Amino acid sequence: MRGHGIRRSVSVYSEMRERLSEWFPTYRDMLVRYVARNFRTLSSDDGQDVVQDVFLELQKKSPPVREGAESLYLRTAVRRRALNLLRARAAHQRNVVNMPERDDPPRPDEELIRRESNADAQARAGAAIQALPELTRQCFLLRLHGRSGAEIARVTNLSEVAVRSRLNDARHRLRASVGELPAGVDWSDLAEGNE
């Protein structure tokens, strides 16, 4: 029985290695372009290294990846590695280079946010966000960043009905806690009667 199990593991492993050798020519260039599009602060060499590293790690681990999920698996792997690279660089800059945290002038959008906002209002908004139940808060934050109900449903793995219910909940709670609906947030897909 045990021998049979080992033989099966070896067969799954070699099958996976075979699939991996097919993925490299199929996906490599596409993934490099994918990194370039999604992580504009990384250079093209960085993008190539990120993808190369992902495939090297896959080759080492040969993880069992289900049929049909290759794309999501690879996209997650490269986004994860690219993010880790950016985080490592940011940490390196903070720790090794002895410079003030913010010497360069703020970028225009940050400047705009600063000019149009104030500490008291942000503190009230922050407290209201923090007081929301976890799932309600997540749905609200996605909506605040302009995500549609369908998109929020896909990210949170909730049904669209459940998302609308959470957004309604957020709307009630936020109005109760700060006395007004959050400005600039589109609630038009929520039924008025549910408000």
Query: Minimum CB separation from other proteins for residue 160, in Å?
Result: 8
**Residue number, 20 or 125, with CB nearest to other proteins:** 125
Query: Least distance to other proteins from the beta carbon of 122, Å?
Result: 5
Residue 87: helix, strand or coil by DSSP?
Answer: helix
2 vs 115, beta carbon nearer other proteins: 115
Angle at the Cα of 75 from the Cα atoms of 17 and 135, rounded to 5 degrees: 125
Cα–Cα distance measured from residue 13 to residue 71, given in angstroms and rounded to the nearest whole number: 19
Q: How far is the CB of 102 from other proteins (least distance, A)?
A: 15
Query: Looking at beta carbons only, is 7 or 176 nearer to other proteins?
Result: 176
| End-to-end CA gap in the chain | 62
Binding region for other proteins (CB under 8 A): 22, 24-31, 33-34, 37-39, 48, 63, 65-66, 68-69, 71-77, 79-80, 82-84, 112-113, 116-118, 120-126, 129-130, 134, 138, 141-142, 144-145, 147, 151, 153-159, 162, 178, 180, 182-185
Q: How far apart are CA 113 and CA 181, in angstroms?
A: 19
Nearer to other proteins, 129 or 168 (CB): 129
**Minimum distance from residue 133 beta carbon to other proteins (Å):** 12
**Which residue lies nearer to other proteins by CB, 28 or 173?**
28
Half-sphere exposure (Cβ direction) of 101: Cα atoms closer than 13 Å = 1
Residues 6+ apart with CB under 8 A from 76: none
Here the tokens at position 191 are 């039924």
